[in-house]
Structure 1
Amino acid sequence: MTVIQARVIHAMTIPFTVQLAGNAQQAVQLTTVIDEVTPSIADYLHHIEATFSPFRADSQVSAARRGDWSALLSTQTAHNNAHDVSQGVSRGASHQLPHTDFAEIYALVQQAKELTHGHFDPMHAGQYDPTGIVKGWAIEQAHQRFLMPLINTGVCEAAALGGGGDIQTAVASNSDFTWHIGVQDPANPNATLRTITLRNGAVATSGTSKRGEHITRSAHDLAQATVVDDHLTFADMWATTAISAGEQTFRGIVASNPVAQSNLMAVFVRPDGSVTQFMPGSGDDKPLSHTH
């Protein structure tokens, strides 16, 4: 029997859910471990919010909007920090990281703008706004840093971290566990349009039902786009791009990108409520699944 433990974190004005899955013999250990790891994830998410929130005057994004881009040139010192895990640095070491989170996101949004033919634009209403990629990136980073070590050391069979329609998942190679992720109906938050089966991968959803017209759009033929990819950073980027570019242009952009063609799958909801699946290279009539 599979046991799933879950905890909720409130950050970036939304709830994030941490989930660990294991067998019945791991139940007690899962409770202890999830209670230990959740505060670390919460601290990390609050740090990301403090860095990137355009609504905080003291954030680096707000500073950039005022013309202060010094964060692009800074380095940051890490000491005895769980973030070191992803950098391959032993705990307790003090060192200079080659860049800040701000600089990494800046590079990512420039890459995203190029990959999406300008439809993913870090400028919104004339101001720098990288939030279209920050949440997905932060979830993926936190999952890699805090949850993957639990899978790799056998503490749990599977782990997931999600928030605001975005989720990153992973499953141990020796486990047959599968995550089942529902695609919410934008017209009815209690209804599910599709169920995505996922082992190692990510799902991101973008649309206008909750936050209104927060994305600069050149077409308005999609109400919601849910994208499945290996990495949540890119799933988030592509979901935002689909809403910005519109369905037909988005299909054309993906057709010109071999990596996106091989990795990406999507569920589109049109303004009239109709739903279509987009699975490049696989046909649109197959059930959505992703088992990398």
Structure 2
Amino acid sequence: MRHVEHVMGTVVSIDIADDLPEERLRELIAGTCEWLHEVDARFSTYKEDSEVSRLRRGELTPAQGSGDLRLVLDRCADLWRETDGYFDAYAGGPLDPSGYVKGWSVEVASARLAAAGSTRHHINAGGDIRMRGAAPGGGPWRVGIRHPWQEDKLAWVLAVREGAVATSGTYERGAHVWNPRTGQPATGLRSVTVVGPDLAVADAYATAALAMGEPGLSWLAQRVTDGYESAAVTEDGRAFTSPGLPVA
């Protein structure tokens, strides 16, 4: 069963391939959508009554916030240290944990589906994807990575049965990732894709590497030992992949 939901400012597609009664599949999808809307209400930087907006205005302290808010803030701080400051929830000024929250919310959604009995599903939130088990045909899920200049072509097709895929690039939203060292939009890399076991981490790594520019290539190479493979395209058109990238 497939469902498309507009939430968190993007389009989220949910595919569940388990052999379950239709009523049960609908329940699983409804629960997933409810969770994603709960995350949006809590972490949106556009909703005036969200916890993040209230925190930014000084009406709420982290200690007064929800457990999820404290968890996200702690993890953003961990990733700031892990990436030498290149993943920064304050890069644009006020707190904006969106670069972690979307991947985290989908990772949690997938874990909740698994706990509820779904062993085969695929959730795609605007290019941040989490997969478990086999695709409907019995093989791995196939993920197309868009060519960074030609939107009708693919740079790579990945085959993933268990794991996450996250892509950060400048070709759709323009210069939206900042280099904290220069205070200017990131340059050097046009597109970064990270594949690994945790979508929130993969998404943060892709964003951090894009912010680093070309030095991000060697930084990504060091993440392979932690289970994170990558592919990147430079602004002058060179392509790089790590040895274990699951290319179909």
Q: TM-score, normalised by structure 2?
A: 0.88
Among 59, 62, 70, the residue aligned to 2:50: 59
Residue 75 and residue 214 in structure 1: after superposition, are their counterparts in 2 closer, same or farther (change >3 A)? closer
> C-alpha separation between the residues in 1 aligned to 2:12 and 2:140?
20
Q: Which residue of 1 aligns with 2:35?
A: 44
What letter corresponds to residue 67 of structure 1 in structure 2? G
Aligned positions of 1:39-118 closer than 5 A? 39-70=30-61, 72-74=62-64, 100-118=67-85
- Pairwise CA distance, 1:30: 5.4
Q: Equivalent residues in 2 for 1:192-231 (5 A)?
A: 192-217=154-179, 219-231=186-198
Q: Following the alignment from structure 2 to structure 1, what is the Cα–Cα distance between the partners of residues 25 and 154?
A: 28
| Candidates 10, 13, 17, aligned match of 2:13 | 17
Aligned to 1:8: 4
Of 131, 134, 139, 2:106 maps to 139
Q: Indicate which of 133, 140, 164 corresponds to 2:126.
A: 164
Matched residues in 2 for 1:192 and 1:104: separation? 36
Query: Structure 1 residue 21: deviation in Å?
Result: 1.9
Instruction: Give the match for residue 87 of structure 1.
Output: none
Partner of 1:247: 214
- C-alpha change, 1:40 and 1:209, in structure 2 (3 Å) is same
1:90 maps to what in 2?
none
Cα distance change, pair 145–187 in 1 and its aligned pair in 2 (3 A): same
**Equivalent position SS for 2:74:** helix
Quote the residue 2:237 is aligned against.
273
Question: Alpha-carbon deviation of 1:229?
Answer: 0.8
8 Å Cα contact 2:5/2:33 also seen in 1: yes
Shift of 1:254: 5.1
Letter in 2 for 1:289: P
- Measure how far apart 1:233 and its partner are: 1.0
Q: Who wins on radius of gyration, i.e. which is larger?
A: 1
**Helix, strand or coil at the partner of 1:73:** helix
CA RMSD across the alignment: 2.3
| Superposition TM-score, scaled by structure 1 size | 0.75
Residues 148 and 159 in structure 1, CA contact (< 8 A), matched pair in contact too: no
CA pair 161-148 structure 1, distance change in 2 beyond 3 A: farther
Write out per-residue CA displacement over residues 135-177 of structure 1, whole angstroms, 9 at most, x where no aligned residue: 00000001101245323xxxxx5111111111111117xx963
The one-letter code sitting in structure 1 at the alignment partner of 2:71 is: E
- Structure 1 residue matching 2:48: 3-state secondary structure: coil
Name the SS of the counterpart of 1:244 in structure 2.
Answer: helix
Query: Pick from 25, 39, 43: which aligns with 1:34?
Result: 25
Secondary structure of 1:105's counterpart equals helix
How many residues matched? 240
In structure 1, what is the Cα distance between the partners aligned to 2:235 and 2:217? 16
